[in-house]
Amino acid sequence: MDYFQENIRLGEVFVQLVAFLTVFFVLRKFAWKPLANVIKARREKLDHEWTDIGKMKAQVAELQKEYEEHLRKIEDEAREKLQEAVQEGRRIAREIQEKARSESQISFEKAKTNIEIEFEKARFELKREIAKLSLQIAEKVVREKMDAAQHEKRAMELIEELEKKL
Amino acid sequence: MDQTGHLISQTAHAATQAHGEAHELPNIFTVLDQIFPGNPFFEFFHHWENIVFSVLIMALIVFCSVRAARKKKFIPDANQNRWEMFVEGLTGFVTGILGPKGVEHVPFLGTLFIYILIENWLGLFPLMKSPTSAWSTTIALALAATFYIQWVGIKEQGFFHYMKHMAGNPKGILGIALLPLMLVINVTIEYLAVPLSLSLRLFANVSSEDRLIYKFAELNVMYKFLPFFFQLFANILAIIFSLVQAFVFLLLTTVYISLIMPREDHGHATGSHNKKFPSPVKPT
């Protein structure tokens, strides 16, 4: 009993209790709550920022997907237009070729016609020359009395002359 | 210099011997009272030295924690960071036992832990004393813990269910017949055994540590510092055991809170208190 009386002092117990409760209430109001609030606010802010980052990442991914889609479309369109241009070029080349061919055909036909006309003209001229020469020969034969040898000779000369003219 | 140190040690030794059987190193008030005998000022402080050291610790904790919490920086400085680490660590520990609702008990449990820890460690500083080496201090702390635990019980269960809990949840005629006995047993356990065990454990451990350190210090004086390494060892042990004792006090208080909180298996989680909490950890 003496031990308890020596070691337990009720006044001290009471003051110690008050001291501890004072620390508790002061810390609860001025330390624990502010610290807990700071931690909570920081956690919320970080969570919020993480959420924002997540959203932004999703947006970026969406945009990237859109851009890739857009690029793919552009590439497709470019390829399509290129192919169209190639086709158009080929078509034009074919047309030019066709035109050139038809023009050359026309020219050829024209030239052929001209040649035929010139040929007919030459033939006509030749006939006329032959007739003229025949008349001249006949005239000479009539005018001069020639023997058979002279006739032949004369005729050969006329032929040679005619060949030269042709 | 060596002589001066020796003289101080001798004075301290004599000062403690003068107060009957010395069991701890002399503190500043013991020494002052011995140097100035009959001085009412020093006598008063020597008589209430535990309270003086407690108030000193109180001021220290309040100053440091409020200073750390006052800044409220988003990017904390070293002091704020230390306190935040402590708060977060403790919150994790307490909610691990009490569940999410345990957050509201963190201020009490945290204050209890840090207050006891600093009080335990204070005796390791020269000319200081651990207030927890006095039973009166530990009784005050245990009473604070007990009142808090019972208050939580009344608040969480409601007064009727709390009384029912104290009466041992009586069922049937036998239960009602045994009600007074159960009430006495439970009240004795909750209001007497719990604070007694809490206070005695802390007081006995811390005063034993102080006694051990004192004895090694006495050996140092007697044998010209030969047993210095023993004292060093005792100091390291005291640092560790002080931490362990503060932690044990915290753990037991947390467990007592978890035991008094309403649970499904107690069958009295009704009405506004019908909340499901995780099963508390039972003390081993």
Residue-wise pLDDT for B219-255, tens only, equals: 887 887 667 888 888 889 999 999 999 999 999 999 9
Considering CB atoms only, which of A21, A32, A39 is closest to B110? A32
**CA A153 – CA A140 distance, rounded (Å):** 13
Considering CB atoms only, which of A12, A24, A35 is closest to B51? A12
Kindly indicate whether the ipTM for this predicted assembly is greater than 0.90, answering yes or no. no
User: Is the Cβ pair A20, B66 closer than 8 Å?
Assistant: no
Which site among B23, B44, B48, B54 would you substitute to test the A interface, given the most A Cβ atoms closer than 10 Å to its Cβ? B54
pLDDT digits (tens, 9 = 90+) for A109-125: 999 999 999 998 988 88
Q: What is the mean pLDDT of residues B122-139?
A: 91
**CA B104 – CA A28 distance, rounded (Å):** 10
CB of B87 within 8 Å of a chain A CB? The answer is yes
User: Is the Cβ pair B62, A26 closer than 8 Å?
Assistant: yes
**Residues of B with Cβ-Cβ distance to A15 under 8 angstroms:** 48, 51, 140
Considering CB atoms only, which of A8, A23, A38 is closest to B111? A23
pLDDT above 50 (res B18):
no
pLDDT digits (tens, 9 = 90+) for A44-95: 999 999 999 999 999 999 999 999 999 999 999 999 999 999 999 999 999 9
What is the chain B residue with the closest CA to A36? Answer: B87
**Residues of A with Cβ-Cβ distance to B72 under 8 angstroms:** 34, 37-38
- So what's the pLDDT on residue B284? 36
- So what's the pLDDT on residue B122? 92
- So what's the pLDDT on residue B72? 77
What is the Rg, in whole angstroms, of the alpha carbon atoms belonging to chain A?
63
- So what's the pLDDT on residue A146? 57
- Confirm if B266 and B258 have CB atoms less than 8 A apart: no
- Read off the pLDDT band of B264 (50, 70, 90): low
Looking at the complex, report in whole angstroms how far the Cα of residue B134 sits from the nearest Cα belonging to chain A.
7
Neighbours of A134 (CB within 10 A): 11
- So what's the pLDDT on residue B271? 40
With b for 16 or more beta-carbon neighbours within 10 A and e for fewer, the B160-191 pattern comes to: ebbebbbbeeeeeeeeeeeeeebeeeeeeebb
pLDDT digits (tens, 9 = 90+) for A150-162: 777 877 887 888 7
**Of B249, B247, B236, the residue nearest B209 (C-alpha):** B236
**Residues of A with Cβ-Cβ distance to B115 under 8 angstroms:** 20, 23
**Of B281, B277, B253, the residue nearest B263 (C-alpha):** B277
- So what's the pLDDT on residue A76? 94
> Which comes out higher in pLDDT, residue B33 or A63?
A63
Q: What is the mean pLDDT of residues B176-204?
A: 88
- Read off the pLDDT band of B7 (50, 70, 90): very low
**CA B229 – CA B178 distance, rounded (Å):** 58
**CA B234 – CA B228 distance, rounded (Å):** 10
Neighbours of A17 (CB within 10 A): 19
For tokens 């065990």, the residue is: B197
pLDDT digits (tens, 9 = 90+) for B88-126: 999 999 999 998 888 999 999 999 999 999 999 998 898
What is the chain A residue with the closest CA to B48? Answer: A12
Mean of pLDDT over chain A: 87
User: Is the Cβ pair A24, B144 closer than 8 Å?
Assistant: yes
pLDDT above 80 (res B197):
yes
Per domain, the residue ranges of chain B are 104-273
What is the Rg, in whole angstroms, of the alpha carbon atoms belonging to chain B?
23
**Of B8, B56, B5, the residue nearest B32 (C-alpha):** B8
Which site among A3, A10, A23, A40 would you substitute to test the B interface, given the most B Cβ atoms closer than 10 Å to its Cβ? A23
Q: Provide the greatest CA pair distance for chain B.
A: 79
CB of B162 within 8 Å of a chain A CB? The answer is no
Looking at residue B161, its amino acid is H
Per domain, the residue ranges of chain A are 2-165
User: Is the Cβ pair A27, B70 closer than 8 Å?
Assistant: no
Calculate the CA B192 to chain-centre distance: 17
Q: Which of A10-14, B81-85, B280-284 has the lowest mean pLDDT?
A: B280-284
Q: What is the mean pLDDT of residues B133-147?
A: 93
User: Is the Cβ pair A38, B115 closer than 8 Å?
Assistant: no
**CA B94 – CA B98 distance, rounded (Å):** 6
**CA A153 – CA A159 distance, rounded (Å):** 10
pLDDT above 90 (res B274):
no
